[in-house]
Chains A and B, each alone.
Chain A
Amino acid sequence: GAGVSQSPRYKVAKRGQDVALRCDPISGHVSLFWYQQALGQGPEFLTYFQNEAQLDKSGLPSDRFFAERPEGSVSTLKIQRTQQEDSAVYLCASSLTVAVKSNQPQHFGDGTRLSIL
């Protein structure tokens, strides 16, 4: 498809398990973002990649969260030793260019809904 694809759409895990969430951005998009959206809240920035370089990880809530984009395309967000407060929708977005002031918007995927029991 032409859009941002995220998998799985839903993930249920027991507290303490590790999870991996995948994002396939639109082909050729340089910028890739991860956001966390708690129930009833707006998305909150987690991390940003420019091609394969992770330039900003200031939003990652703890060292249990790790993201990578080794070939500058697909990205994986990994959460180790999950806790109940990690339950949220994780959104991935990509955009064609780097610069803020462009006509290329961020395209969002449908998200992965993560539930920690």
Chain B
Amino acid sequence: AQSVTQPDIHITVSEGASLELRCNYSYGATPYLFWYVQSPGQGLQLLLKYFSGDTLVQGIKGFEAEFKRSQSSFNLRKPSVHWSDAAEYFCAVAPNSFSGGYNKLIFGAGTRLAVHP
């Protein structure tokens, strides 16, 4: 069965520092990969997605992620964190269905990011 692992439950960084959030997936083929952000009491906002092609994907708010097939990873990065980035981050996969399948997302448990001033 497909699964997503986010090894870090909580991460704290200083404002202006770099950030990397880890994500590993388990799936027989290359799935579609996503990162979402959730602020308290809010729904999820898509940061970026990977379907195929260039393994380095640029997203909104200065985030990027790199797909590494050999490591089954899709880590999220940001070179300089802002206080407003404090939130919960979810990695998600969708089965790569060739039947025109819909976008059923499987989420990791999330990483809560705190930013120190």
Residues of A within 8 A of B (CB): 4, 31, 33, 35, 40-45, 48, 50, 55-56, 91, 93, 95, 98-101, 105-106, 108-111
Contact = CB atoms under 8 A, between A and B. Distances in A.
Contact of A108 (B32, B45, B49, B102): B45
Given A91-B44, A108-B43, A108-B45, A42 B104 contact: no
A43 B102 contact: no
Nearest to A44: B107
Contacts of A110: 41-43
Given A48-B104, A98-B102, A100-B102, A41 B51 contact: no
A110 B42 CA distance: 5
9 closest Cβ pairs, A-B complex: A42-B107, A108-B43, A108-B44, A105-B46, A110-B43, A100-B103, A43-B107, A42-B109, A109-B43
Given A91-B43, A110-B42, A55 B102 contact: yes
Interface string B54-81: 0000000000000000000000000000
Contacts of A91: 43-44
Contacts of A99: 100-102
B94 interface: yes
B104 A56 contact: yes
